[in-house]
Structure 1
Amino acid sequence: MDKRLIEAVELFEDVMVFGTERVLKNVKADIWQEYSREQLQVLKILHKNGPLSAGTLAELQHVHKSAISGRLKKLEEKKLIEIIKSPEDQRSKLIKLTEQGANVVQESDQAVYDYIETLFADQVNDQELEQFVTMFKKIRSILRLEGPTHESDTEI
């Protein structure tokens, strides 16, 4: 196997593990104190993908359906999500983000963006940032196993 690919995978893993840890430790937003990381991830998934079934959410978070049930109950109590009937099958239920839930996602995202912008300010120039975005669009497109590929994913 190509040693560069091995190095790339190891670097990607390091960025994912240590980057997530650093962001979680250093972003000081009230929203991150009010909701768990897993709850915020559910909201973010719904924001990006639209209404989904509880089973699909469990798959995307790599947890059992019982773990999702607890999260969804808390989010529904806080009026961040609502349960609706599927337009395709009235017997199926989907989880939908409410406007209040979308506001929580936006507030959480803004806290992360502000932190990353400060962190990268003097470390990453415009050309490097453009290369980073291009490469991650390509990686996202390659890794997507289900669902349609968006045109913007493959722009290079």
Structure 2
Amino acid sequence: MDKRLIEAVELFEDVMVFGTERVLKNVKADVWQEYSLEQIQVLKLISKNGPLTAGIIADLQGVHKSAISNRLKKLEDKDLIEIVKSEEDQRTKLVDLTDAGLNVLKESDQAVYAYIHNLFSNHVKDDELDNFLIMFRKIKSILKLEGERE
């Protein structure tokens, strides 16, 4: 196997692990004190994908449906999500964001963006950021295409 690909995978894993740890440790936002990372991720998944079933959310987070049920109950109790019936199949229940859920997600995103901006502002040049975006758009496209084939 190509050594560059092995190094790329290892670097990607390192960035995911250490980057997540650093962000979680250093981002200061009130919503991060009130809600767990997993709850914020649920809101993010719904925001990016539209209303989802609990089963799909569980799959996307890589956890059992019982773990999602607990998360959804807490988010619903705080009026951040609502359970709605699917227009295509009235038996299917979908999880959707409320306006309060959107506001929590915006607050979380703004705190993360501000932290990353401050972290990178003196270390990453514009052309490097452009190259990063090109590569990650390509990786996203490849992963999305593969996911559709499964």
Confirm or deny a common fold (TM above 0.5): yes
List gaps (5 residues or longer) in structure 1: 148-156
Q: In the TM superposition, what are the counterparts of 1:107-146 in structure 2 within 5 Å?
A: 107-144=107-144, 145-146=146-147
Aligned to 1:4: 4
Q: Could you tell me the TM-score, scaled by structure 1's length? A: 0.92
List gaps (5 residues or longer) in structure 2: none
Q: Could you tell me the TM-score, scaled by structure 2's length? A: 0.96
| Whole-Å separation in 1 of the counterparts to 2:104 and 2:131 | 30
- Report sequence identity in percent: 71
Shift of 1:99: 1.0
RMSD of the TM alignment (CA)? 0.8
> What amino acid maps onto 2:112 in structure 1?
V
Q: Tell me the SS of whatever aligns to 1:87.
A: coil
| Whole-Å separation in 1 of the counterparts to 2:128 and 2:80 | 37
Q: Tell me the SS of whatever aligns to 1:133.
A: helix
Shift of 1:143: 1.2
Shift of 1:8: 0.3
Shift of 1:32: 0.3
Greater percentage in helix: 2
**Whose relative contact order is higher, 1 or 2, with alpha carbons under 8 Å and at least 6 apart?**
2
Q: How many residues align?
A: 147
Aligned to 1:95: 95
Q: Deviations over 1:31-82 (max 9, x none)?
A: 1000000000000000000000000000000000000000000000100000
Moved >2 Å (runs of 4+): none
